[in-house]
Each structure stands twice: as structure tokens, then as C-alpha cells.
């Protein structure tokens, strides 16, 4: 049904007029009107055109509008250089080293403006990865440099036309993801394109063309040479695409080496309690994103890394450390690995630590401790994490029920709930580390002298 509908509104290869090596698709064939763009995107394009430059909405926004999906952001492509764009817009800044782009701020919205990339030879390292790409060219050259045919569509809001250089409209109608150019060479230039291909196919429900999927198996090992921070960013896009489980299902079709990134190892856990916890966390995240609800990156990462942390925690408990101390020591073991080896920014790792540190404290339900815990800012996230643990059998369900009741109780009821709670008792070996022998106090010198006399 969907394919028939798309075929009605999307043109075939004969559906538009050919001009200068591109297909020009009129409004009656794509139904994207200028008012469907954000105010900020229209304003940026108008300003660029008034200054005598070409300007188009490009990439994922055009693709999503064709699919009936509301774009999350709008990107603009132009023949103006980054310096010229920056000069036109007071609230803008040039970013990027490999390829410079301009972020134009309009209220709370940020429009990413890129200059048409040229076809001149770029700077590559010994492995073929593009290291610097600040060569500019025509719109035709820019279309050739883009990754997938469905992302090489340029929308002109003034004429309400789409320029299609690589039959991207046909591929969208067929729900097919096709790499532009030689896929093996494109993966060599930028191995992260492999993850992008898997993410887009999972998110959009597109099938990878044979030419696109063929070189992935032999190219995926190149990802190990990418900076961990860049890999982390791409993994986050996959996890927060709203279709994380489908993306991971497609990722598992390829033999991802263990040394690419530790998060891949965590995501590959599918058995037992650990696998259930990760699966449930991703399911909840997908559902919240599709319902346009907020999600916490720190919370999801805390769930993904909990299995490894939990193993360290249990070892420390067996050695006799009290739960809170045992968990702190486990976190210290992971700290350098998480923030350096995993590329997790400190703002996310701080949230993870706070959520984790709450977990043993939930056992303390006597006296003033529950009241102090409930008043803390990160309580809700930590409580939701406790629910997640209980759902897979990693925490006591009665503990969750007690804290659920505590939140809705009156001040008098809370006082009663905490009044008669027993003290926390540790299991075998927990909190029973060998006590230090107290040093014998030396006798006072004056007393010694008196006794000698």
C-alpha cells in the first residue's frame, strides 16, 4: 500500500524534465510546499539568495518530507563560502576541521549551512580516509560527494522544485538505500558511512542495495581506526534514532570485531538478565522517542554499562565491602575506561554515576534517609532505573513497591513508613571486611615518670 502511494506522488525517471544532468521535479509531483519548512530555514535561504548566492534545503529533511515524516532539522547547501555565510549572519559560527560548515542560530533553532563540495582531490591518510576536504565546487559536484541517493535531493522553496541528480526519488519510492559511487571506495574514505548505512536502513525501513551492502563485511574492520569520540557520536545517533532495536538487528548481520568500540560489545549481549535489561532499556527509549517524549542519554548509557559494573560490584561485595563502598570501587574501576576508552563525555558519565550510586541507597528505608533521598534532583531517574532492574530480576520488586508508595504518601504516612523499618542487614560476607586492629595507646609520659618514682 505504501509503495503504491509513494509511486503515485513520486516521479519515475521520466517524471521530471532533464536539465544540465539533473532531473527537475515540479511541485505537482512531490507536494512539498515552502510553508512546510521551518521559519529559520526559509529565512536563511532568503538571505543567501538576496545576497546573490544559490541556496537549497538538502539531505534528510527533503527525504523525510517525501516520506511524510516531520524533519527534526533542516540543512542548507549553498555556493557561498563559509566566510561569506558567516559575514551574512551575525549569529553564526564556523565549525569543523575536515570540512568547514556554518551554524546559523535563529532563536532556539540551528541551521547547518554547507558550501557545495568540489570534485578536486582531497587529503587522505595512508588508509584512504579523508582527513581534510575544504574544496568547493558546483551543485553537481556536491551531489556526487553525498553519501546516499536519497540524501542528494535539493529543494528550492522559491520555485518549489526538487533537483534530483542520482535518481534518489526512485530509490525512495522503492524504499532502497543506495550509495553514490563505488561503495568500497566511499567506505574507505569514511568508514563511519557503514554505521550510517545501517542506521538509515533500520530507521527508514529501507533495504540496502547489493552494491551498497557488498563491501561492508570487508570494510567494517576500518572502524577500529576511527577516533572513539566520533564512533560514540554515531552510536548515539543509532541508539536514539527511535528504531534502535531494528538498527541493532541489522548491525548483528555483520561480523563486528570486538575491538571496534566497547559499546558494541555491550549491545551484542542478548542472553540472560543482562540481555533482557539492555533490550528493555532500548525498547522504552524507542517508544518514548516515537511518542515525542524526552529521553536521557545518561540513563540509557547507565543501563548499557550496568552489566559490566554489576559484575565488579558483586566481586567487591564478596570481598566484604559494604554495598555503597563496593559500588564506588566498581565505578572507579570503570571510570577511566568509560570516559577515555569509550569516548563518553563527562556530562553523560556524571549522570550515570549519580544513577548508579542511588541503587544501594534505596535499601535504606529507615529514619530520615528516605526523605533526603527523595528530595535529590536525580531521584526520579534512579527510581526508574530501579524499576528497570526489578523488571529483569536484578532488584527486589517489594523494594520498588515501597518506594512507589512512599512517593504518593502524605507526610504523616511517610513518617509511619520509615519509623518501623528494620536496619539494613548485609548478606554473607557483605560489609564484613577484616577489621583493622586498633593501635594500643601509648601511656602518658608523665604517668610513666610518676610510676617510676
Catalytic residue positions? 73, 75, 147
Instruction: Say how far apart CA 148 and CA 76 lie, in whole Å.
Output: 17
Q: Residue 276, Cα to own-chain centre: how many angstroms?
A: 20
355 to 201, 396, 399: CA distances (angstroms): 33, 17, 16
Helix (H, G, I), strand (E, B) or coil at 134: coil
Helix (H, G, I), strand (E, B) or coil at 387: helix
Inter-axis angle of helices 397-408 and 411-419, nearest 10: 150
Task: Identify the CA nearest to 77 among candidates 163, 148, 17.
Answer: 163
Task: Identify the CA nearest to 169 among candidates 285, 13, 291, 44.
Answer: 13
| Cell 586498633 found at | 438
H-type helices in 323-362, by residue range? 323-336, 346-361
Phi, psi of 425 (to 5 degrees): -110, 135
| Cell 554495598 found at | 323
- DSSP letter at 422? P
Q: Do the beta carbons of residue 89 and residue 47 sit within 8 Å?
A: yes
Q: Do the beta carbons of residue 15 and residue 27 sit within 8 Å?
A: no
Amino acid at each position: 500500500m505504501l509503495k503504491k502511494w509513494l509511486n503515485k506522488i513520486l516521479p519515475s525517471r521520466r517524471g521530471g524534465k532533464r536539465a544540465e544532468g539533473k532531473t527537475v521535479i515540479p511541485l505537482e509531483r512531490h507536494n512539498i510546499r515552502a510553508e512546510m519548512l521551518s521559519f529559520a530555514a526559509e529565512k536563511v535561504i532568503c538571505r543567501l539568495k538576496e545576497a546573490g548566492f544559490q541556496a537549497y534545503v538538502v539531505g534528510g529533511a527533503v527525504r523525510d518530507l517525501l516520506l511524510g515524516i516531520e524533519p527534526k532539522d533542516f540543512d542548507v547547501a549553498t555556493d557561498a563560502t563559509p566566510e561569506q555565510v558567516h559575514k551574512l549572519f551575525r549569529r553564526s559560527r564556523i565549525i569543523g576541521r575536515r570540512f568547514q560548515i556554518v551554524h546559523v542560530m535563529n532563536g532556539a533553532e540551528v541551521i547547518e549551512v554547507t558550501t557545495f563540495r568540489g570534485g578536486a582531490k582531497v587529503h587522505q591518510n595512508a588508509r584512504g580516509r579523508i582527513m581534510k576536504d575544504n574544496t568547493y565546487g558546483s551543485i553537481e559536484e556536491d551531489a556526487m560527494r553525498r553519501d546516499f541517493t536519497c540524501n542528494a535531493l535539493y529543494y528550492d522553496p522559491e520555485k518549489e522544485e526538487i533537483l534530483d541528480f542520482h535518481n534518489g526519488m526512485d530509490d525512495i519510492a522503492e524504499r532502497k538505500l543506495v550509495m553514490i559511487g563505488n561503495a568500497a571506495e566511499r567506505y574507505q574514505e569514511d568508514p563511519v558511512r557503514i554505521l550510517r548505512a545501517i542506521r538509515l536502513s533500520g530507521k527508514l525501513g529501507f533495504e540496502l542495495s547489493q552494491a551498497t551492502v557488498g563491501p561492508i563485511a570487508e570494510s567494517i574492520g576500518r572502524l577500529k581506526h576511527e577516533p572513539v569520540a566520533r564512533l560514540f557520536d554515531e552510536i548515539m545517533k543509532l541508539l536514539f534514532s527511535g528504531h534502535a532495536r531494528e538498527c541493532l538487528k541489522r548491525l548483528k548481520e555483520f561480523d563486528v570485531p570486538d575491538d571496534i568500540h566497547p559499546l558494541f560489545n555491550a549491545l551484542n549481549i542478548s542472553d540472560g538478565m543482562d540481555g533482557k535489561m539492555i533490550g528493555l532499556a532500548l525498547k522504552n527509549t524507542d517508544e518514548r522517542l516515537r511518542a515525542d517524549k524526552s529521553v536521557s542519554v545518561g540513563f540509557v548509557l547507565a543501563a548499557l554499562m550496568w552489566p559490566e559494573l554489576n559484575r565488579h560490584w558483586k566481586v567487591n561485595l564478596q570481598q566484604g565491602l559494604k554495598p555503597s563502598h563496593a559500588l564506588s570501587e566498581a565505578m572507579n574501576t570503570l571510570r577511566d575506561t568509560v570516559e577515555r576508552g569509550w569516548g563518553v563525555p563527562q556530562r553523560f558519565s556524571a549522570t550515570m554515576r549519580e544513577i548508579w550510586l542511588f541503587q544501594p541507597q534505596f535499601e535504606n528505608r529507615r529514619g530520615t534517609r528516605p526523605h533526603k533521598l527523595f528530595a535529590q534532583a536525580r531521584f526520579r531517574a534512579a527510581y526508574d532505573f530501579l524499576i528497570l532492574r526489578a523488571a529483569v530480576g536484578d532488584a527486589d520488586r517489594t523494594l520498588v513497591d515501597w518506594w512507589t508508595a512512599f512517593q504518593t504518601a502524605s507526610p504523616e504516612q511517610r513518617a509511619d513508613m520509615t519509623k518501623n523499618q528494620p536496619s539494613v542487614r548485609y548478606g554473607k560476607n557483605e560489609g564484613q571486611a577484616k577489621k583493622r586492629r586498633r593501635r594500643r595507646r601509648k601511656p602518658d609520659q608523665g604517668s610513666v615518670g610518676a610510676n617510676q618514682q
